[in-house]
Amino acid sequence: MASIVNQNAYSSALPNFRNLGILLRILLIVNLAAFAAAVVKSPALRGIWNELLEISAVVEPLLILSLIVLMALNGVLSRLPYYLGITGVIALELALSALLYVAGRPLLAAELAPLERYWLLVFIVTVMLLVYFDLRGRALSPALSEARLQALQARIRPHFLFNSINAVLSLIRQDPKRAEVALEDMSDLFRVLMADNRELTPLAREVELCRQYLDLEQLRLGERLKVEWHIDKMPRDALVPPLVLQPLLENAVYHGIEPRSEPGVISIDIYSVREQVHAVLRNPYRHDGSHHAGNKMALGNIRERLQLHFDAEASLATKVSDDAYQVHIVIPYVKAESAA
């Protein structure tokens, strides 16, 4: 009940311990804490290094072991209610430190303090980290809902909307059947554009949407637009942020095809390598320095959403060569069934 009162309906959740960005943050924060402890303990500057080595001998094994166990238990932990989840993590950390205390005692040269002291330290650091991740989650939550709004604003290029409506109008008298299909494609496209796009969507769905979009553009541009799909090796069940590819295709049409009177090819390659999904989009391009603000806005928007969903594990890179423009997206391969 308490969560209903919460301003923006953010429900606290444990971080995803399988995300590289989260793991790096934990490593960084714990090591910073160890360094701070070393500075506090050592009266002279020269002694800091020795202190740090001593502290690390105790901290690092526990840190590494904790990360491995948390990664392994991530699925179980994420399904628990939040308060049980944090209790679980704290209990887990205390248990692991006790285990290492007993197992590691004979191996260490230096005398160890009583277990209760380590427990207290572990408890403090764990709670600190959990509070940090909760605050971070809260900070990102409005950003995530804002990303939806931005997606909406950046996506519907009025130019595309009105030209498409005009193209459909031209069909109504001569080819009513095609006009019907075009309107259906358009309504599907706008349904997604106006939906709540915070949840991930299967890649196959995004590709379908891209096809519908390109069909509409084909209607207007005819022979000038040629599309090459290379998606035989596409992992259909991979989860991606909605509208991660369509805006890029819209850019490709707007900057690559429309300014040319001769036909141009847009190619789309999607494949998976190990645990990553790659999408490579290419379009013809010529340097003339005009309309780049719109392109940058769409790229920035997608980059931001990729970061919100996947942190450091996703990337977006662009490459300009003499006559082609390429966008390369890498997303961790998350399957639709095991969605966290």
Partner 1 sequence: MSEAPLRILIVDDEAPARSRMRDLLADCAQALPLAVAGEAAGGRAALELLSSRPADVVLLDIRMPEMDGIEAAQHLQKLEHPPAVIFTTAYDAYAIQAFEVHAVDYLLKPIRAARLREALARARTAKPPGPGVLRELQPRARAFLSAQERGKVHLVPIGDVVYLKAELKYVTAHTAQRDYLIEESLTALEQEYAGRFVRVHRNCLVARAAVRGFERAAGEEGQWVVLLEGCNEKIAMSRRQQYIVREFSR
| Residue ranges binding partner 1 (CB under 8 A) | 157-159, 161-163, 165-167, 169-171, 173-174, 219-222, 258-261, 290
Q: Measured between alpha carbons, how far is 267 from 253 in angstroms, rounded to an integer?
A: 11
**Do residues 260 and 284 lie in contact, with contact meaning Cβ atoms separated by under 8 Å?**
yes
Beta strand 264-273 pairing with 225-230: parallel
Q: Locate 315 and state its tokens.
A: 């990337």
Least spacing, CB of residue 320 vs partner 1, in Å: 19
* DSSP secondary structure, 136-174, as one string: HHHHHHHHHHHHHHHHHHHH--HHHHHHHHHHHHHHHHH
Least spacing, CB of residue 224 vs partner 1, in Å: 8
Q: Measured between alpha carbons, how far is 326 from 248 in angstroms, rounded to an integer?
A: 10
Least spacing, CB of residue 235 vs partner 1, in Å: 36
Nearer to partner 1, 79 or 296 (CB): 296
**Helices first, then strands: H and E counts in the chain:** 10, 7
Q: Measured between alpha carbons, how far is 240 from 192 in angstroms, rounded to an integer?
A: 14
DSSP character at residue 59: H
DSSP character at residue 254: I
Least spacing, CB of residue 182 vs partner 1, in Å: 10
Residues in the chain: 340
Nearer to partner 1, 219 or 314 (CB): 219
Nearer to partner 1, 79 or 291 (CB): 291
Nearer to partner 1, 3 or 170 (CB): 170
Nearer to partner 1, 58 or 189 (CB): 189
Nearer to partner 1, 87 or 170 (CB): 170
Nearer to partner 1, 161 or 308 (CB): 161
**Do residues 57 and 50 lie in contact, with contact meaning Cβ atoms separated by under 8 Å?**
no
Nearer to partner 1, 226 or 319 (CB): 226
Q: Locate 337 and state its tokens.
A: 């069934």
Least spacing, CB of residue 163 vs partner 1, in Å: 4
Least spacing, CB of residue 290 vs partner 1, in Å: 6
Q: Give the gyration radius of the chain's Cα atoms.
A: 26
Least spacing, CB of residue 165 vs partner 1, in Å: 5
| 206 closest CA partner among 227, 237, 181 | 237
Q: What 3-state class would DSSP assign to 3?
A: helix
Least spacing, CB of residue 267 vs partner 1, in Å: 20
Q: Measured between alpha carbons, how far is 340 from 335 in angstroms, rounded to an integer?
A: 10
Least spacing, CB of residue 257 vs partner 1, in Å: 9
Nearer to partner 1, 290 or 321 (CB): 290
Q: Measured between alpha carbons, how far is 324 from 327 in angstroms, rounded to an integer?
A: 10
